[in-house]
Amino acid sequence: MLVVVAPLLVLIVTSFAHGWFYPRVLPSSFDVSAWADLFAIGAHRDALMNSLSLGVATAVVATALALPLGRAAALSPRAVRRTIALLAFTAVALPPVALGVGLQLSVLSLGLGGTLSGVLLAHLVPALGYLTLVFLGVFTRWDARVDETAATLGANGFARWRLVLIPLLRRPIAEALALGFLVSWAQVALTLLVGGGAVRTLPLDVLAMLQAGQDQRAAVGALALTIPALIVLGASRAAARNTPAVVA
Amino acid sequence: MPTAFVVVMMRRVSVAALALLALMSGCARSAPPASAAALARLPWDSVLARAKGQTVVWRIWRGDPSINEFIDTWVAPRVREQFGITLQAVSGQGNELVDQLTVEQQAHATTGTASLLWINGETFGALRTRQLLAGPWSNVLPAAALVDSMSPIISRDFEQDPAGYESPWGTVQLAMIYDSARTPQPPRSLAELATWIRAHPGRFTYDQSFAGITFLKGAMYALNGGAATYAGGFDSTKYLAGRTRLFAWLDSLKPFLWRQGTQYPPDVAALHRLFANREIDFSVSNNQNEAVTKAMQGILPTSSRAMVLRDGTIANAHFLGIPFNAPSAAGAMVVANFLLSPEAQLEKQRPTVWADGTVLGLDRLPLAWRARFDSVVNDPRLVPADSLRRYARPEVSPRYHERLQADWRKSIR
Amino acid sequence: MPRRTALPLLIAVLLLGAPIAAGIGYLIVGAFAGADAGSAGSLARILGDPGVHRSAALSLWIASAGTLIALCVALAITLLLDGNARVDRIVRTLAVLPLPVPTVAATVAVLLLLSQSGWLSRVASTLHFMSMPSEFPALVYDPLAIGVILAVVWKEMPFLLLVALSLQSLRGTVLADTARTLGATPWQVVRRVTLPLLLRGMAPSIIAVFVFVLGSLELPLVLGPSSPLALPLLIQERRQALDAVLHGDAYLIALLATALALVAALAHEWVRDDAA
């Protein structure tokens, strides 16, 4: 299990280490300036805020779109369902370097080149792909009798969603939100290509620091990137534990 | 029925989405902003007036926190206070800029995002060739009169004439960095370096990007009769002859390089990392002052020293350009002018700030300023200013750099 | 097609298909008809370029080895969990820790840990096993991309483990128990019941991991060798080259990478269990 935590430990120690070179196993001083700069320096703060906004927006929009799409796909004939699943996985499988070029040009022609909205549109592509597959899976295993029972009991369309379906879907929705967030949060290539360098996000910041030799700051950035991801995943699993499992 | 509701919602969403898309693309087409060339014909006061309230997005290399700090915390507040300009420095350099602007040009984006660019050399060449730069404008800046226009390093950008399409900002000179604790007697010439490499296998390499190719260019000059051989534009015959000698020299050294010359670090930062952590004993930098500034940042050991080879090292200047579709060209011109001011140039040269060389002709400044500039360049860890000048070699046509990089990638890497 | 099936398909085509078409479309335009145009001759040249072969081979090697090793570790842990709930839960929580770590953060960590002057090497030198960085194996910037593969295993094993565990809890035990009662040895149960069941259920996830690693930019950027250059890096380098001829090359190579991804997508859909 040391193998699992060793990389994270190295990041933590490096984030506090100024001038730490071979062959020293421990840094000679404890320096918090890089951590302080994460919040003190506007550029890093902006990157953090951009990443957060993109993550939340991607999570919400992708979930809102993927849920009905996945459900409709699950209820469709086999050929339609498989086509939609294929499209969804392709959106995920295309190498970002290849997809990003095309998206960059599309986003530019929409006048959104180098803007946060443009990058959001790019992040939505793999996010929508992942989440459609997730909800397709959920609704394929769905017990349709829940639906029909609610209908028999007199609930109309919207009420049925609100009172029956959404509560039962709390767990998959929580997981979808978390996954959608993480897809955007960790994104490097798409942001780089579509944002054209004008949109700063935390992962790009980490790369920039590393490519400038600023290992201490890169480690701080990497941890700042990891900790919220751990929290988001932990929260979604906690939310999942508190709801009845929908899957038979 | 369950699906009826889904169908209705989907239809509503798709209609709204299409409407939104139409709206957004409609909003994108607005009148193109004033060009730098047009503004250059106006009196400076008009430019200042127009600049007030503008936001200037400046694309720079953001890889160095001290440069970032200088721009974000020293330059930006001052241009806001003195000229009412909001300065935002974002990442973007070299090929990335050319790439981005080319795409914008092809997409007919008459209003881009960036108004100011930090460029030089082949980037400038590529941007000029593809007509991605606005201008001419830099000669009308009031501070342009203070620039050391006699210097071959400043008046020509890799032998290209800025011709008013870029304004000079700073100068650097390639240097080797060594560790005085590990290598008390470093080699002083290219020949001595080659001997050293053979005597210390696996302890030397260079990087794949700009600094590495500049080092190779310097070696090519030294092996072929000096920089003067390559002056006067790109000559394919001379290049091929020079390349042959250089590659033969590299081949003879290959087994003695780090990883037997089969792998090369991706950039200067990786090279510094190898050097600082004792994997190799030399690093190369385009700015000799990194021996001091990087040691302060904890990236290089404090025993690092800079040196230049007696065969000469390449010195060049870096500049500021304005893209063809700059939204705030007036603001960009005002910022460029401010950056040429003696106070901005002096601040930039401080070792605690950036230690980037000035482009100003000190003889054009009042005596008091001259004294202040002289006082900031005396650090024992650095190469003394007169040595630096003696061994400085100007850049030649950017085509040499391009060809060398392409050929190196094909044959050596 | 009845209306109720046409609309979801239409929406999916719009939301998913349009960006994909835009992406691939612009690549084709850039490769064959754009300003930096290639031609049919360029395609032949790219396909015959040994540099491109080496890059593709490296990327395929990284994806294959990384996915395979991650799979083996995930399966081993799944099979070894003996049903002791407390130990199981501890192992599961720990093993899943790398799951949400963003790839770029993982690459930084692996660089600091496994380079020849990285932390492991420094420990080895302090313990007097070696005295110089060059004595430590070259795991980063090496032609076999071992550091990249290790980073892949660290990052992707938790995902495969979760899939395997969920499959086990969902369907695993009934058939295994039946086989045991019928007299099969534990090893036979594993070989003939558990493993095939797991592998079949995990097939889509395995393909997903493979294709993700294949297309990753940050893994080879930070840890990979310069020769050969991983495929995504080769594409980036040629796309940003100042010599415009190389741009067309970049688009062509990107199309090849896209073709690989499409094959993987088709395989994924073929093995995706539609009935469950």
pLDDT tens for C114-167 read 999 999 999 999 999 998 999 999 999 999 999 999 999 999 999 999 899 888
Q: What is the ipTM of this complex?
A: 0.89
What tokens does A63 get? 């979930």
Give the three-state DSSP class for A241.
helix
Which positions 99-128 of A are in contact with C (Cβ < 8 Å)?
Answer: 99-103, 105-106, 121, 125, 128
Q: How far apart are CA B165 and CA B124, in angstroms?
A: 9
Which residue in chain B is spatially nearest to A37 when comparing CA positions? B65
Choose among C17, C112, C170: nearest Cβ to A215. Answer: C112
- Name the β-bridge partners of B91: B60
Identify which of B12, B2, B87, B26 has the alpha carbon closest to the alpha carbon of residue B334. Answer: B87
Residue A10 has pLDDT above 90, yes or no: yes
Residue among C8, C112, C212 minimizing CB distance to A10: C112
Between B155 and A246, the higher pLDDT residue = B155
| Tens-digit pLDDT profile for residues A23-42 | 999 998 899 999 998 888 87
Cβ of A71 within 8 Å of Cβ of B6? The answer is: yes
The reply to whether residue A7 touches residue C109, judged by beta carbons under 8 angstroms, is yes
Do the chains contact at B273 and A208, CB–CB below 8 Å? no
pLDDT of residue C88: 77
Q: Which DSSP category does A243 fall into?
A: S
Helices B329-339, B342-349: inter-axial angle, 10-degree rounding: 70
Closest by CA position to C204, among listed C232, C151, C166: C166
Q: Is the pLDDT reported for residue B7 higher than 50?
A: no
A198 shares contact with chain B (CB less than 8 Å): yes
A17 C-beta neighbours (distance < 10 Å), count: 22
What is the model's pLDDT at position B27?
45
Summarised one tens digit per residue, pLDDT across range C3-59 is 555 677 787 788 889 989 988 888 888 777 655 555 667 788 888 889 999 999 999
What is the distance between the alpha carbons of residues C152 and C158, in angstroms, rounded to a whole number? 11
**Cβ pair C4:B99 closer than 8 A:** no
Which residue has 């630096």 as its token pair?
B388
Do B324 and B105 touch, CB atoms closer than 8 A? yes
DSSP one-letter string for C201-253:
HHHHHHHHHHHHHHH-SHHHHHH--SSSPPHHHHHHHHHT-SSTHHHHHHHHH
Contact between chains at A140 and C276 (C-beta distance less than 8 A)? yes
Tokens of B90: 């974002």
Q: Using CB atoms, list chains with 3+ pairs below 8 Å to chain A.
A: B, C
**pLDDT score of B25:** 46
Residue B277 has which token pair? 């952590």
Distance between first and last Cα of chain B: 65
pLDDT given for residue B30 in this prediction: 55
Q: Which residue of A has its CA nearest to C7?
A: A72
Task: Provide the mean pLDDT of chain A.
Answer: 87
* Residue pairs spanning A and B at CB distance below 8 A: 125
User: CB neighbours of B386 closer than 8 A, spacing ≥ 6?
Assistant: none
Beta carbons of B65 and A217 less than 8 Å apart: yes
Q: Which residue in A23, A108, A198 is closest to B107 by CB distance?
A: A108
Whether the pLDDT of residue B137 is over 90: the answer is yes
How many residues does the structure list for chain B? 413
Interface membership of B107 toward C (CB under 8 Å) = no
* Mean pLDDT, rounded, for B350-366: 87
Average model confidence (pLDDT) across chain B: 87
The Cα C141–Cα B50 span in angstroms is 51
Task: Read off the tokens for B101.
Answer: 């602007």
Convert the pLDDT of each residue in B71-118 to its tens digit: 999 999 999 999 999 999 988 888 788 888 988 898 888 888 899 999
pLDDT of residue A9: 95
pLDDT at B150: 86
Query: Is C84 at the interface with chain B, CB within 8 A?
Result: no
The subunits that touch chain B, with at least 3 C-beta pairs less than 8 Å apart, are: A, C
DSSP reduced 3-state for B238: helix
Pairwise CB contact (< 8 Å): C9 & A76: yes
Residue A135 has pLDDT above 70, yes or no: yes
Length of chain C counted residue by residue: 276
Phi, psi of B57 (to 5 degrees): -90, 120
> Using CA atoms, how far apart are residues B357 and B173, in angstroms rounded to an integer?
9
How far is it, in rounded angstroms, from Cα C68 to Cα C74?
Answer: 10
Do residues B53 and B343 lie in contact, with contact meaning Cβ atoms separated by under 8 Å?
Answer: no
Half-sphere exposure of C132 (CA within 13 A, CB side): 9
Measure in Å the smallest separation between the Cα of C255 and chain B Cα atoms: 19
pLDDT band at B8 (very low <50, low <70, confident <90, very high): very low
How is chain A split among helix, strand and coil, in percent rounded to 5? 75, 0, 25
Average pLDDT over residues B161-178: 93
Q: Tell me how far apart the alpha carbons of residues C49 and B100 are, in angstroms, rounded to a whole number.
A: 28
Tell me which of B27 and C224 has the higher pLDDT: C224
CB-CB contact of C150 with C139 (8 Å): yes
Question: How many C-beta atoms lie closer than 10 Å to residue A59's C-beta?
Answer: 24
Report residue A155's pLDDT band, with 50, 70 and 90 as the boundaries.
Answer: low
Q: Where are the alpha helices (DSSP H) in B202-323?
A: 210-223, 236-253, 268-276, 290-296
Q: pLDDT confidence of A119, banded at 50, 70, 90?
A: very high
C-alpha closest to that of B320 among B115, B159, B33: B115
Within a 13 Å sphere around the CA of B375, how many CA atoms are in the beta-carbon half?
Answer: 8
| DSSP per-residue letters across A171-226 | HHHHHHHHHHHHHHHT--HHHHHHHTTTS--HHHHHHHHHTTT-HHHHHHHHHHHH
Q: Do A109 and B107 make contact, defined as CB atoms within 8 angstroms?
A: yes
Dist. CA B93–CA B109, nearest whole Å: 20
Q: Is the pLDDT of residue A247 over 50?
A: no
Across the interface, which of B65, B104, B301 has its CB nearest the CB of A113? Answer: B104
Q: Enumerate helices (H) and strands (E) in chain C, giving the number of each.
A: 14, 0
Q: Check if B31 contacts A (Cβ < 8 Å).
A: no
Q: Is the dihedral of CA A14, A20, A26, A29 positive or negative?
A: negative
- Phi/psi of residue B108, each to 5°? 55, 40
DSSP-derived 3-state class of residue C136? coil
Q: Report how far Cα A1 is from the mean position of its chain's Cα atoms.
A: 26
Which residues 101-140 of B are in CB contact (within 8 Å) with A? 103-104, 107, 109, 112-114
- Interchain proximity B109–A23, CB inside 8 Å: no
Token digits of residue A218: 């890169």
Q: Is A101 on the interface with B (CB under 8 A)?
A: no
The per-residue pLDDT for C2 is 53
Average pLDDT over residues A225-229: 94
